[in-house]
């Protein structure tokens, strides 16, 4: 192990990767992340069945999704610290181990509290994985090839949540809800076994202390924000959103202030100097708009429209969403390669326009819309989002200095989750409030208004994309000491 002294930070590097080629490292991590993120939405389509099986109300069973999101929002901000303080291989093994343990607990659950605890443990492992994959790619892949590799990661981040309801519906129809966890567990354990034998990850360890006050503020802030947003438009829970949202907002303000103080001694939990880079800042805003549309409109509102308005069963609704997921998967890597040649702006503008058009098209569909029209609009939406996602992730992290990769990926992933929760909460609340019936379920009129609101978000994305910087991030911020770290060159 080679050590590099750092007078201010007391850091050392462990960049040697001898037991696996970089392409194998990234491949194993991408497959693992895909399984984990797929699990995030696979349960959503089974919530009505789980409510009946577990003997709980619809508002209670929703915690299987909300609890997962809240846990992600609490854990992800700490990953900037974790990726600096501990070896990447250790973080990977702990992440997959936690996820597997939570999956076993959920699969064996005979009561709702046990099932919820299993989901929370799953989320604790999942939260670390995406920032870990992003940081590893930035360390191993040369700048001129990052777009293509980030395209693969886009398949994980975008496609896995999009096809989660499809996979969940198929498993639920054929095998029952417990197999949604058993099948995921088999894949997770296989990845864990491969990692134990072959996986060696590059690590740059920095001896930084953990600021417990920042951890507390982060947990209260992001948990309060996501919980409050998830509770909007839902039946009354243990804490009302009018209480949790202000508490979360105040805690986040104090958290940001404290990080500024800690940055003076280079000891922040989440280094917010990332937002000082204008390209990263604009990519962050556009990424939030993309995830608001992906998770709010694509993963929540559209399945609701298919089931509540068009009256398709869970399997049919899930299968209707599959073509869009396939299209996003198919274009993600080619879009990444195209980014390597032309930069982000030329892809972001048509992607944002396509996103806005698709969302407005959904608002024109009513209770008698043919299924082929719904599928066509969804394919357009997924194609547009896939065109934007890879350039945004690559451009955002490429705009940062090498020592901010881990913090940049942590902040990016955190705000993507917050945007997803915001999109889901606001669009469902709008659909409920604008509905003409009194059943409490959004009807065709309410969902139409919600898609109009989502279309306005698409228009905002177009405006931001028009002002996005041209070209690609300046290569001078590339790390200067990478001789001992193998890179992907082909």
**Domain containing 426: what range?**
11-473
CB 220 within 8 A of CB 247: yes
Residue 380 lies inside a defined structural domain of this protein: yes
Residue 5 lies inside a defined structural domain of this protein: no
Residue 344 lies inside a defined structural domain of this protein: yes
What does the pLDDT read at residue 357?
96
pLDDT in tens, the chain (490 residues): 444 433 344 443 444 444 346 777 778 888 888 888 887 777 777 777 787 788 876 667 777 877 787 788 788 888 877 877 788 788 889 999 999 999 999 999 888 889 999 999 998 888 888 888 877 777 777 766 777 777 777 777 766 776 676 777 778 777 878 888 898 899 888 888 888 877 776 666 667 677 888 888 888 888 887 777 766 655 556 677 778 888 988 998 998 898 888 877 777 888 888 888 888 999 999 999 988 888 788 777 888 888 888 988 777 877 888 888 888 888 888 888 888 888 889 999 999 999 999 999 999 988 888 999 999 999 999 999 989 988 888 888 888 887 787 788 888 888 887 787 778 778 887 887 887 776 656 788 888 999 999 999 999 999 999 999 887 776 434 443 333 344 443 3
What does the pLDDT read at residue 488?
43
Residue 238 lies inside a defined structural domain of this protein: yes
What does the pLDDT read at residue 438?
66
What does the pLDDT read at residue 467?
93
Sign of the Cα torsion 430, 435, 440, 442 reads negative
Check which CATH number belongs to the domain holding 184 and give it: 1.20.1250.20
What does the pLDDT read at residue 20?
45
Distances in Å between the alpha carbon of 155 and those of 152, 192, 277, 353? 5, 21, 26, 21
Residue 381 lies inside a defined structural domain of this protein: yes
Residues 6+ apart with CB under 8 A from 156: 30, 33, 34, 37, 130, 133
Average per-residue pLDDT for the chain:
79
Residue 485 lies inside a defined structural domain of this protein: no
Q: In angstroms, rounded to a whole number, what is the distance separating the alpha carbons of residues 291 and 235?
A: 25
What does the pLDDT read at residue 174?
75
Q: Within 10 Å of residue 163's Cβ, how many Cβ atoms?
A: 23
What does the pLDDT read at residue 377?
93
Residue 113 lies inside a defined structural domain of this protein: yes
105, 126, 111: which is closest to 35 by C-alpha?
126
What does the pLDDT read at residue 232?
64
What does the pLDDT read at residue 481?
37
Q: What share of the chain is helix, strand, coil (3-state, %, to 5)?
A: 75, 0, 20
| Domain tally, the chain | 1
DSSP codes of every residue in 203-271? EEEE-----HHHHHHHHHHHHHHHHHHHHTTSPP-SS-HHHHHHHHHHHHHHHHHHHHHHHTTT--SS-
Residue 139 lies inside a defined structural domain of this protein: yes
């Amino acid at each position: 192990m080679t050590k590099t002294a750092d007078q201010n930070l007391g850091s050392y590097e462990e960049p040697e990767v001898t037991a696996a080629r970089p392409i194998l490292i990234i491949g194993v991590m991408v497959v693992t992340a895909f399984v984990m993120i797929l699990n995030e939405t696979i349960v959503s389509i089974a919530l009505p069945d789980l409510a009946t099986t577990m003997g709980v109300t619809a508002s209670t069973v929703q915690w299987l999704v909300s609890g997962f999101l809240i846990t992600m929002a609490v854990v992800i901000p700490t990953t900037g610290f974790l990726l600096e303080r501990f070896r990447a291989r250790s973080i990977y093994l702990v992440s997959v181990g936690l996820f597997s343990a939570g999956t076993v607990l959920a699969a064996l659950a005979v009561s709702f509290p046990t099932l919820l605890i299993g989901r929370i443990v799953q989320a604790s492992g999942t939260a670390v994985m995406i920032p870990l994959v992003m940081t590893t790619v930035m360390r191993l892949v040369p700048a001129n090839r990052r777009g293509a590799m980030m395209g693969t990661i886009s398949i994980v981040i975008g496609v896995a949540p999009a096809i989660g309801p499809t996979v969940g519906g198929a498993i639920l129809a054929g095998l029952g809800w417990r197999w949604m966890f058993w099948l995921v567990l088999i894949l997770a354990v296989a990845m864990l076994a491969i990692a134990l034998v072959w996986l060696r990850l590059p690590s740059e360890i920095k001896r930084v202390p953990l600021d417990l006050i920042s951890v507390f503020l982060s947990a209260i802030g992001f948990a309060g924000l996501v919980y409050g947003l998830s509770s909007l438009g839902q039946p009354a829970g243990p804490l009302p959103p009018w209480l949790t949202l202000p508490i979360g907002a105040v805690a986040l303000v104090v958290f940001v202030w404290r990080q500024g103080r800690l940055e003076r001694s280079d000891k922040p939990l989440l280094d917010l100097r990332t937002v000082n880079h204008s390209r990263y800042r604009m990519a962050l805003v556009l990424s939030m708009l993309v995830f608001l549309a992906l998770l709010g409109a694509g993963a929540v509102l559209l399945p609701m429209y298919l089931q509540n308005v068009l009256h398709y069963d869970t399997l049919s609704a899930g299968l209707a969403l599959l073509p869009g997921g396939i299209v996003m998967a198919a274009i993600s890597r080619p879009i990444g390669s195209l980014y390597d040649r032309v930069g982000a702006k030329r892809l972001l503008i048509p992607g944002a326009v396509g996103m806005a058009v698709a969302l407005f098209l959904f608002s024109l569909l009513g209770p008698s819309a043919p299924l082929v029209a719904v599928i066509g609009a969804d394919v357009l939406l997924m194609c547009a989002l896939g065109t934007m996602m890879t350039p945004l992730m690559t451009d955002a992290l490429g705009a940062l200095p090498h020592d901010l990769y881990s913090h940049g990926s942590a902040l990016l992933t955190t705000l993507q989750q917050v945007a997803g929760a915001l999109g889901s909460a606001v669009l469902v609340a709008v659909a409920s409030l604008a509905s003409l019936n009194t059943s409490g379920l959004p009807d065709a009129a309410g969902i139409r208004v919600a898609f109009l609101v989502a279309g306005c978000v698409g228009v905002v994305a177009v405006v931001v994309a028009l002002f996005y910087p041209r070209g690609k991030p300046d290569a001078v911020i590339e790390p200067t000491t990478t001789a001992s770290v193998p890179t992907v060159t082909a």
